[in-house]
Homo-oligomer: A and B are copies of this chain.
Amino acid sequence: MKTKTLYFGAGWFNDKQNKAYDQAMEALKANPTIDLENSYIPLNNQYKGIRVDEHPEYLHDKEWSTATYKSDLVGIRSTDFMLGVYLPDEEDVGLGMELGYAEGQGKYIMLVIPDEDYGKPINLMSWGVADNIIKMSELKDYNFNQPRFNFYDGAVY
């Protein structure tokens, strides 16, 4: 069976984000149409392995910032599709920009929302840029070899 690679767009800055991060990872591991080994996971690809949340002395380092930013763009461009782990109550500007960039690169864009949050209102621009928006529990079974469009079965604000 063919497998697809993805850019894993997800935050890691609080408990709720970390929980969704881990759930999505588990689902992707279980999905037979996903090649996780060759996918791009931003947290694992920060420049020189340095996380700025752990090393605040890099907050003003233009070399670190430039390299990490360009790395993430390479990740979006060189993988098959864009996955955004989306929390309606904690929308993230960084993910927003990644979604817009992925659109400019012609990538298929999938958002996944935790089941308990699915249906809640999401930002209009995220709604519009997404090619499909599914529940977390559907992620492990989605056939990424046949990506399709669908409307969000929820609200937009």
Q: How long is the Cα–Cα vector from A108 to B146 in the complex, in angstroms?
A: 19
CB within 8 Å of B: which A28-47 residues: 35, 38, 45
Q: How many copies does the complex hold?
A: 6
**B97–A94 CB distance below 8 A:** no
Taking Cβ atoms with an 8 Å cutoff, the residues of A that contact B are 2, 35, 38, 45, 52-53, 59-60, 62-63, 65-74, 77-78, 81, 91-108, 121, 123-129, 131, 145-151, 154-157
Instruction: Please list 27 pairs of residues, one from A and one from B, whose beta carbons are closer than 8 Å in the complex, sorted by A's number.
Output: A53-B157, A59-B155, A62-B62, A62-B63, A62-B151, A65-B127, A66-B66, A67-B151, A70-B131, A74-B131, A74-B148, A74-B149, A78-B108, A92-B93, A92-B123, A93-B93, A93-B95, A93-B123, A96-B98, A96-B99, A97-B99, A97-B100, A97-B123, A98-B125, A100-B103, A101-B129, A106-B106
